[in-house]
Structure 1
Amino acid sequence: MSSAEQAHVDRPTGPDLRSGQLRNLILATVASTVGFWAWTVVGPLSKRYAQQMDLSSSETALLVAMPIFVGSIARVPVGALTDRYGGRVMFTVILGITAPLVLLTGLAGQLNNVAVLLIVAFFLGIAGTVFAIGIPFCSAWYEASRKGFATGVFGAGMVGTAVSAFFTPRLVAGVGYLPAHVIIAVVVAVMAVVTWLGLRESPVRAGVVPQPMLPKIRHAFTLKVTWQLCFLYGVVFGAFVAFSNYLPTYLNTVYAFDAAAAGTRTAGFAVAAVVARPIGGVIADRIGPKIVSLVSYAGTVVLAMVVAFQPIDEVAYGSTFLAMAVFLGLGTGGVFAWVSRAAPAKDVGTIGGIIAAAGGLGGYFPPLVMGATYNAEHNSYFVGLTLLAVFAVVALLLALTVRNGGRVDERVPA
């Protein structure tokens, strides 16, 4: 055997990522879609709750935002637990817990008691933590040059918000309020079983020794990049979550759409953002996440101000909202493509969970702000939308300072 042949034989080979990576990515994305549907099941029915329980705009906003709060905070420990136990276990556990919570949401709504519904909606927020599971799970299945693609495709599970906006009001209208929640709960439970039977961990996790959760979280918070990406993601994903949940209320208040019509338009918004997200991830793989993020924030600034002036013609405000959804989707894909580049490999799940939590929190406060700053005299949300533009400007400036924003071959070692 020649020396060249011997060198070829002795060269260490990495784990086989090709076998099963696409299947696991698709299955995780479907699981995320179902989780997001459950997470946002309250928003499309906000008008119903407001009428039945005689809620003010602020009370309605609080009800819509409640699941977002827990779904945001809980992403931190869930991301760390995913590093420890893997995505297969965590997807199964979270979806398994979510199914009865969806059913309890339906039962609470039947009582017409806002306090009980708020409590159940608070715990329903755990469904939103599926995002913190899928990012490290899917990222581990792909090589460095394709991690943006992987996280972008998985992020398309945000389409669950569109599914919720479109189907939830129609299910309620077709089969009744409580039976609709039973159907959704069954879908979630079935998905929990499917993830346990169908998902497999990436071979790169083989031999990984689990580490205590709290030290990993504390370490992640000591890294500058964690805080930088938290703010960047909080703006783009927060705006997406806020609009996906509050847009039915906004469209009903400003343009007098009923629940089904508002839900259809909200679904269109969500789908546009979902389609744009993997595109943002793929582009980030090619030219780097920094440029993608800068374009996203610049577009958001302009379009938020256009919406703030409340165009009268539906073509005008409809196309503006769709364009904003595209820019937000590109930004969510671009920023999360940054995580696996700038974060140490062993901390991707933990840091990803913290950043995902920041994104969720970014979606928690805007509905409250929109409800609190609503000008009933002029039927206007100008203040809230202007604040979105201001935060997008700050994010644009911050994006200029984050490291590892170019192409993969231009990375600075972490």
Structure 2
Amino acid sequence: MERADAPAPAAWRNLIVATIGFTLTFWAWDLIAPLGSDYHDRLGLTSVQQSLLVAVPVLAALLIRDRPDRAVPAGSLGQRLASAGRLRVTWELSALYAIGFGGIVAFGVYLPTYLRTGYGLTPTDAGTKAAGFALLTVIARPFGGWLADRVHPAVVTAGALAFVALLAIVQAFDPPLDPVGTVCLLCIAAGLGTASGSVFALVSQVTPQPQVGSVTGIVGAVGGLGGFVPPLVMGAVYSARGSYSIGFMLLSDLALAGCVYAYVRMRTVRGGAG
């Protein structure tokens, strides 16, 4: 029987990483979503959220173990992060993850407002559709990791972002919500979730092995922070123009740029590149 602390089979490694990301994303969404809704006090946490804040660290301490042959990195935390920050791939991956996961965070914060303002939905209807968007993003994330086990992660990322770019253009023309707008938004959710899963799979392939952990931390932080910029842009654009079309076209441009960069540059990078 395989030991509990044995490394995961290579064919399943990206799926396992993406599934962990799926769980954390779903948990984070439960914390973030009330910030953009009218249902809860903006600083309050439900009993489920409070339970998760306690349960997740406890489960991590009980179940997660390092590989027995793991090399312990030398140097302080600051030195390791500074070294990772000097790698070009750190910021390339951060930019790609900011598009994928940052887009998920942005829609989580702003989608209910967009549906109420752009389509005149009630807060309840807007919240229900936003929940469907959230569910699809977290389901698509393990799919991105699974696909990256079988196809180069850069190709998966490029394909997912190309899909997002195409659907964002369609949504920019303010199609009727039923069915075209709903389909577009759900497809964007699937594309962003797939891209965020495949980018994490890409980290281990293009990063020097001793620095994978530090790079992953920086990439995850930048991706999360990147999600709070688009809502500000969308709000400013709507205030100035009375339309969300420009915001969706900007999303399309950004996703297309990420698609081209992932396919042309990241597909050729190897783990020893700086």
| Match of residue 160, structure 1, among 27, 35, 51 | 27
Q: What are the superposed Cα offsets for residues 74-123 of structure 1, whole Å, 9 maximum, x if unpaired?
A: xxxxxxxxxxxxxxxxxxxxxxxxxxxxxxxxxxxxxxxxxxxxxxxxxx
- For the residue of structure 2 that corresponds to 1:272, the secondary structure is helix
Q: Does 1:306 align with 2:173?
A: no
Q: Does 1:223 align with 2:87?
A: yes
For 1:259, the equivalent position in structure 2 comes to: 123
Q: What are the superposed Cα offsets for residues 236-281 of structure 1, whole Å, 9 maximum, x if unpaired?
A: 1111110111101111111122332212111111111111111111
Identity %: 33
CA distance in 2, matches of 1:146, 1:196: 20
CA distance in 1, matches of 2:53, 2:221: 24
For 1:240, the equivalent position in structure 2 comes to: 104
CA distance in 2, matches of 1:183, 1:235: 31
CA distance in 2, matches of 1:193, 1:365: 29
Q: Specify whether residues 402 and 20 from structure 1 end up closer, same or farther in structure 2 by C-alpha distance, changes over 3 A only.
A: farther
Q: How does 1:13-412 map to 2 (within 5 A)?
A: 18-20=2-4, 141-157=7-23, 158-160=25-27, 163=30, 177=41, 181=45, 183-184=47-48, 186-192=50-56, 194-195=58-59, 198-204=62-68, 208=72, 211-375=75-239, 379-403=242-266, 405=267, 412=270
Alpha-carbon contact 1:161-1:244 (below 8 Å) kept: no
| Residue type at the aligned position of 1:220 | A
Shifted more, 179-188 versus 232-241: the winner is 179-188
Query: Displacement, 1:327?
Result: 1.0
CA distance in 2, matches of 1:277, 1:189: 22
CA distance in 1, matches of 2:80, 2:203: 16
- For the residue of structure 1 that corresponds to 2:150, the secondary structure is helix
Q: Specify whether residues 329 and 193 from structure 1 end up closer, same or farther in structure 2 by C-alpha distance, changes over 3 A only.
A: closer
CA distance in 2, matches of 1:193, 1:221: 27
Displaced runs of 4 or more, over 4 A: 161-166, 176-180
CA distance in 2, matches of 1:330, 1:282: 9
Gaps of 5+ in 1: 1-15, 22-139
Query: Displacement, 1:368?
Result: 0.5
Query: Displacement, 1:300?
Result: 1.0
Query: Displacement, 1:330?
Result: 1.2
Query: Displacement, 1:345?
Result: 2.0
- For the residue of structure 1 that corresponds to 2:192, the secondary structure is helix
Q: What are the superposed Cα offsets for residues 324-380 of structure 1, whole Å, 9 maximum, x if unpaired?
A: 111111111111100011112221111011111221122111001011111576x41
Alpha-carbon contact 1:298-1:393 (below 8 Å) kept: yes
Alpha-carbon contact 1:228-1:402 (below 8 Å) kept: no
| Residue type at the aligned position of 2:190 | V
| Residue type at the aligned position of 1:283 | L
Structure with more relative contact order (C-alpha pairs < 8 Å, separation 6 or more): 2
Q: Specify whether residues 178 and 333 from structure 1 end up closer, same or farther in structure 2 by C-alpha distance, changes over 3 A only.
A: closer
CA distance in 2, matches of 1:193, 1:389: 37
CA distance in 2, matches of 1:313, 1:196: 41
> When the two structures are aligned, how many residues end up with a matched partner?
270
Q: What are the superposed Cα offsets for residues 217-252 of structure 1, whole Å, 9 maximum, x if unpaired?
A: 111122121121111111111111101111011111
Alpha-carbon contact 2:208-2:271 (below 8 Å) kept: no
Alpha-carbon contact 2:137-2:194 (below 8 Å) kept: yes
Gaps of 5+ in 2: none
CA distance in 1, matches of 2:48, 2:253: 38
| Residue type at the aligned position of 1:147 | R
CA distance in 2, matches of 1:214, 1:179: 32
CA distance in 2, matches of 1:413, 1:197: 30
Alpha-carbon contact 1:163-1:267 (below 8 Å) kept: no
Report the structure, 1 or 2, having the larger helix content: 1
Q: What are the superposed Cα offsets for residues 35-61 of structure 1, whole Å, 9 maximum, x if unpaired?
A: xxxxxxxxxxxxxxxxxxxxxxxxxxx
Query: Displacement, 1:19?
Result: 3.5
* TM-score (normalised: structure 2): 0.86
Superposition RMSD in Å: 3.0
CA distance in 1, matches of 2:160, 2:62: 35
